[in-house]
Every structure is written in C-alpha cells, then in structure tokens.
Amino acid sequence: MKRKHRNDSLSAKTVRSTVQSCILFGLVIQIVALSFYAVTLTRQYIKTTGTTVRQVRMSIRHSTDSMSYSKQVMDIYRSLTEDQRSLMGTDGYRELFSEVDTTTKGGTYDILINMLEGTMGFHTDNDDISDIYLGMYDDETSALVYIVDPDKPPNRFMPGDWEKVPRTETERFLSAKDDHEVLYDIGWMKKYGLICTVGVPISYDGELTAFMLADISLDNILAGMGEFSLGMTIVVVFVTALIARMQTKHIKEKLVKPVNMIAEASSNFAAKRIGEKRYFADLDIHTGDEIERLAETMAEMETSLYQYGRDLLEVTKEKERIGTELSLARKIQADMLPNIFPPFPERTDFDIYASMDPAKEVGGDFYDFFLIDDDHLGLVMADVSGKGVPAALFMMMSKILIKNFAMQGLSPAKVLEKTNAVICQNNDEQMFVTVWFGVLELSSGKLTAANAGHEYPMIRKAGGEFGLFNDKHGFVIGGMEDMTYKEYEIQLDKGDTIFLYTDGVPEATNANSEFFGINRLLDSLNSSKAADPMNILRNVRKSVDDFVGDAEQFDDLTMLGLTLL
C-alpha cells in the first residue's frame, strides 16, 4: 500500500526552503538597513549639535567670565567630603555653595542662564536637542557636576549639583586634546532613556575648566527604526509570498514532475520487470539540466543491468560448471590418497592413520604410504608450493614419481634425487615441493629417511613423550637440478610412534595473526601418551581448530601417524 507524504513532498520542501531563505534574507537586510539608518542619523545629530555647542561656547566666552565661574564651582565641589556630596539636592547641600553667586541681576550666572534658556528655546522647537548646559566632569568621583542648567524648576540643577555617570563617559570627555574637538558619548540612563551627550571643552591657559554640553534624545531614532522595520517587514512578507509562488510553480514543472516520472519508472523496473522492457528509456524528460542527465543515466543503467543479467547468467552457469569440476577434482585427489583405515587389515605389526584437509577446493599437500614388499613400508609427507588446481596437478605428478621410484627398491635419497631430476626437466612455472620420504623395515624397526626441505618429524618412544627429531635437510624438489640428498636412520621399537605433518599445522593462524607453533603442537601430541595414531591426529586437529577459531584456514593441514606394534 502506497502512502502519500504531502507534507514531505519536494514541492512543500521547496516552498518552506524558499520562505525561510526570504525571511532570513529580509532579516539580514533589515538589520543592515536599521544599523545604517541609526548610525547615519546619529552622526548627523552629533554633527549638528556639535556646531550648536561650539556657537554657544563662543557666545559665553565673549559675554561673561564663565571659566572663572566654573572653576569656583569645581573648587568647592572637590573640597567636599563624601558625606557632604551625599546631601546633594538638599538645602544643606546648596548652602555649601553659598559663595557661588546665583541671584545677582546681570551676574555671571544670570547671563549664562539667560543665554542657555534662549538657545534651548530656539533648538527644542527645531531639532532633538533636549538640554544644553554647562558642566564639568570629575574624574575622582566619576560624576558630572552641573555649573549652569537652563532646565525649568524643579528639574533644574543648581551650581554644584552632580549626577553619577559611567566611567567611560568621564574618561572620554576628560581625554579631550584641544578646544576644537567635539566629544560625544551614547548610553542608556534610567532617568533619561537612550541619550547622546555631545560637548566641547572650555579651557583657560591650557587648563580644562568646563564643558559646553548638550543632550540629544535618541527616542525619535528608535521610533523611526520601528516604523522602518514595520514597512520592511511588510515588503519582505509580500516579496516572500510572490517568490515562493513563482518558485514552487517552476520547481514543480522542472524538478518535481520529472523526479516523480523517474521514481515511477524505478518502481516499475523493480516490481513489474518483464523480459527486457525499457522503463527509463521511454521517459520523455527534456529539462536541459541534471534531471535530464539523471534520466539518461538511469536509461544507461537499465541497459547495463539487462546486459549484466545476461552476463551473470552465463557466469553463473560457468561457475557452476567449474564448481562441479573442482568438486570432482577434489574427489579424485582424495581418492588418490590412501583413505581407507585400517589400510592393511591383515597386518598387526603396525598401526597407521593419515588425513589431509585442503585450504581450497583442491590442495597441494599430500601424504602416502605403501608396502614396497612384505617387510618394507614406504612413508611420504609432502607440501607443494602454491595452492589450488596448479598445486594439485603438481602434487599428483610428484606423488606418482615418488611411489614409482620407491617401488623400484631405490633408497630414499635416490628416490628424491630421481624425482627432482624428472621434475626439473620441465618446470617452467618454477614450482617445487618439500618432501620427507622414509622406508621402514618392519621386522627390525629401522627407518631410513631423507628430507627435501620438509618439516622435522616428531618421535615418541614407548611410554615417553613426543619430541622434535632434527634430521638432515636437503634442498626442495624442483628447485635446482643435480641435487643430492643425505639419508639418516631412526630405530623404532615396539610402541614407538612417528608423527609427520606439513607446515600448515604449526603455521595455522588465529584472528590475531598468531601462529599455532611447534610448542602448541607438542602439547597437543603429548596430551594423551597412550593415544593411537587416529586419536593423535584428532587431538591435534581439535587443538588447531580451537586455536584458530573463526579465522579462515590459510594452508592445507596434512598429518600422518604410525605406531610400531
């Protein structure tokens, strides 16, 4: 049953993405525009107000001795204690400044207050200057000390009255370098709101005595920003809706519809495929972009898959044929090795058992044992270089050669020499085989052997433990022409056991890339001192399997055990 996900459709996602992008873009534009609006207007206010305070400063300089008056007020203020300053606004505090003349008609204060009131009356009707006053900053108390304030009572500050101001404002104004510099500070104060204080210094003989200051209310800027933001929001909403509608229509035609056609063709290809019917090749998509290229690619994929299916069918048939042949080859190889035990039921003078487990379908290891005559038993343990079919073919040839030469009554060394000579005659692939070959005289227990680069045999005396027999090694068979091999003898008594193996046993590897090793092999062999050859091999195989675990078998595992009875 098909489920419709309209809310998750490509069209819906496109609309959401478009709306979100437009809103984000609108917000960014608003922030940039508002910032530009606020900065530009504030700079204009500061420039205009700076011109005003300069003009007022020039007027008071020519009209009265404002500098001496300011210095008198500040000298009294700086002489006050902290407790006295805390009385600010009270009659007691005003009494501390009684020496400062504020009542004389035509006095300094009277002239200054009239001039500032006149200036305020002109500017408050035409711009956003909320106050023009004469004051001085005190660095020690971080305060603005009022000298002349033209504000109407009861809001008027009298000479010596002060307000706490931010340290940054105090430092900014007191850092004035010359009288021509226009200073300003923007900040938020609970009493006044967002204001900008603009001022110019007043100095006498290089000594800073006061500032001609003006406050600009920035409330109008905030109100203008709100109106601007509202208008911008309406425009963004309208543009967003328009773009979303146009974009959705375009996306549906150029993207959603072709994608749905490809999706339907994919579904039919997966569920309704009949023969080699073409679903993607029949699509009529001409968008001139990646969607059209996708449709073409899917059509190419469709053709490739049909071709791949035909090829896969042929490969599967061939693989099944090869698998059948390999299975038959493995059976033939296994049948070539002695695999019926006991092999000589009528013989009671020895017990023998062997096994070979190839790493691939067919292996390169082999063992062999055969009666050369009634009193001599030939024993072979060999390991061909490489694995798979080539090693199996080389193994068969080597096995046949060794047995044929042994049946001629040749000594073990001569058997290996003749085998090496034949193999070296036509060995373009440069394959080789390691061989241990011995002939056991059953009546005496004398074992004559020769070793062509193979593993050392293991010997267990009756009632004892297995140990490594370090015999004399010769060069591998097939490695070099005209090789000679040395023989050696081992005396086996009743109850003695010999164990032969290929390197696949000690070199069996676990998941941690660790070898099974000779020591673990000896421990396994000696786990049961009375075990017969069959149980000896089973004990070793179990130990190897437990050690290897789930790791893949890398090499053939071949073993042979014989006990003289």
- For the stretch 429-469, pLDDT in tens is 889 999 999 999 999 999 999 999 999 999 999 989 999 99
Same domain, 194 and 282: no
Same domain, 168 and 214: yes
Q: Check residue 127 and give its pLDDT.
A: 54
Q: Is residue 128 part of a domain?
A: yes
Q: Give Cβ neighbours of residue 280 (< 8 Å, ≥ 6 apart).
A: 262, 265, 269, 295, 298, 299, 301, 302
Q: Residue 480, CB half-sphere, CA atoms under 13 Å: how many?
A: 9
Q: Check residue 27 and give its pLDDT.
A: 81
Q: Residue 516, CB half-sphere, CA atoms under 13 Å: how many?
A: 28
> Is residue 326 helix, strand or coil?
helix
Q: Check residue 323 and give its pLDDT.
A: 57
**Residue 564 pLDDT class (50, 70, 90 cuts):** very high
Q: Domain with 490 in it: what CATH number?
A: 3.60.40.10
Same domain, 476 and 446: yes
Q: Is residue 366 part of a domain?
A: yes
Mean pLDDT of 549-560: 87
**236 vs 357, higher pLDDT:** 357
Same domain, 458 and 538: yes
For residue 269, pLDDT over 80 is answered with: no
Q: Check residue 283 and give its pLDDT.
A: 78
For residue 84, pLDDT over 50 is answered with: yes
For residue 182, pLDDT over 80 is answered with: yes
For residue 125, pLDDT over 60 is answered with: no
Q: Check residue 317 and give its pLDDT.
A: 74
What is the distance between the alpha carbons of residues 48 and 176, in angstroms, rounded to a whole number? Answer: 19
- How far apart, in Å, are the Cα atoms of 125 and each of 115, 119, 120, 129, 217? 16, 10, 8, 9, 14
Q: Is residue 2 part of a domain?
A: no
Q: Is there a cis peptide before residue 258, judged by omega within 30 degrees of 0?
A: no
Q: Domain with 169 in it: what CATH number?
A: 3.30.450.20
Q: Check residue 331 and give its pLDDT.
A: 67
**180 vs 535, higher pLDDT:** 535
pTM of the model: 0.49
**Residue 135 pLDDT class (50, 70, 90 cuts):** very high
Mean pLDDT check: name the lowest of 37-46, 223-232, 477-486.
223-232
Q: Is residue 66 part of a domain?
A: yes
Q: What angle do CA 203, 207, 213 make, to 5 degrees?
A: 40
Same domain, 322 and 456: no
Average pLDDT, the chain: 86
Same domain, 174 and 75: yes
Same domain, 193 and 277: no
Domain boundary among 292, 307, 336: 336
User: Are the beta carbons of 484 and 413 closer than 8 angstroms?
Assistant: yes
**Residue 77 pLDDT class (50, 70, 90 cuts):** very high
- For the stretch 305-361, pLDDT in tens is 777 777 777 776 777 665 555 566 666 676 789 989 999 999 999 999 999 988 765
Domain residue limits at 453:
340-564
Same domain, 190 and 279: no
**293 vs 397, higher pLDDT:** 397
Domain boundary among 336, 356, 379: 336
DSSP secondary structure code for residue 515 in this structure = B
For residue 124, pLDDT over 60 is answered with: no
- Long-range Cβ contact pairs of 529-533 (< 8 A, separation 24 or more): 529/460, 529/463, 529/464, 529/465, 532/351, 532/353, 532/563, 533/351, 533/352, 533/353, 533/497, 533/560, 533/561, 533/562, 533/563
Same domain, 67 and 211: yes
What is the distance between the alpha carbons of residues 301 and 266, in angstroms, rounded to a whole number? Answer: 11
Domain boundary among 218, 251, 285: 218
Q: Give Cβ neighbours of residue 464 (< 8 Å, ≥ 6 apart).
A: 529
Same domain, 437 and 317: no
Same domain, 297 and 396: no
Q: Is residue 262 part of a domain?
A: no
Q: Is residue 256 part of a domain?
A: no
Same domain, 206 and 279: no
Q: What angle do CA 359, 363, 369 make, to 5 degrees?
A: 120
Q: Is residue 260 part of a domain?
A: no
Q: Is residue 507 part of a domain?
A: yes
Q: How many domains does the chain have?
A: 3
- For the stretch 476-509, pLDDT in tens is 999 999 999 999 999 999 999 999 999 999 999 9
Reading the block at residue 429, the tokens are 């692939």
Q: Check residue 61 and give its pLDDT.
A: 85
